[in-house]
A and B are shown apart, each in its own frame.
Chain A
């Protein structure tokens, strides 16, 4: 079992650019949540996808969007990047229903915006 895999592991962008991050959930999981973790902070919830739809959303602007595919993998897109978007982006998978909040995290994608 490969667990939760994310790509890329590191990337550098400039302000105004767009970025796409990818996540493959743990085998048997059908729900994907995305979190932003700034340096020295706890993870902040961005949104959660289940059955290819956004089920919950945190306090993030519309520049943050996502998608879930039929194979349960997911993408996080961020448009018009700001310096403040620099962070570790964590994908977490879980099994839907009552277990949706028992999360298994990926190693993250570290985004640096210059």
Chain B
């Protein structure tokens, strides 16, 4: 069926270390892969996205990698800071041509000072 699987569900890292969150998707025709950050009690905010014509995209400390063959994509946060603590969601449009995004179940990232 349609789904986006996200791992791990929780992640704790020391401040300054790197964090990696992984997602797999079911539809090989999916062509857009965003990551959202949701702080407690706030709206999800787009932090980075990638389209299927590239394998990696970087924005300062944040990067996303895509492996279309394996149908997975990952969020990488380097030099983590306390303000990186939040829940992160991946998403993908399942069923090609369908603009709806299917979200993963989220990863609660805690940065330990």
Contact = CB atoms under 8 A, between A and B. Distances in A.
A102 B44 contact: no
Contact of B43 (A40, A58, A105): A105
Interface in A77-114: 90, 100-108
A56 interface: yes
B46 interface: yes
A104 B46 contact: yes
Interface string A46-62: 00100000011010000
16 contacts: A31-B99, A33-B99, A33-B100, A35-B103, A40-B106, A41-B105, A42-B104, A42-B106, A43-B103, A44-B103, A45-B101, A56-B100, A90-B43, A90-B44, A102-B49, A103-B46
Interface residues of A, number: 23
A20 to B, nearest CB: 20
Given A42-B103, A56-B98, 15 more contacts: A33-B101, A40-B106, A41-B106, A42-B105, A45-B102, A48-B99, A56-B99, A56-B100, A90-B44, A100-B99, A101-B99, A102-B32, A103-B34, A105-B44, A108-B43
**B34, B100, B104, B105 — most chain A CB neighbours (10 Å):** B100
A42 B89 contact: yes
Contacts of B61: none
Interface string A12-53: 000000000000000000010101000011111100100000
A32 B91 CA distance: 17
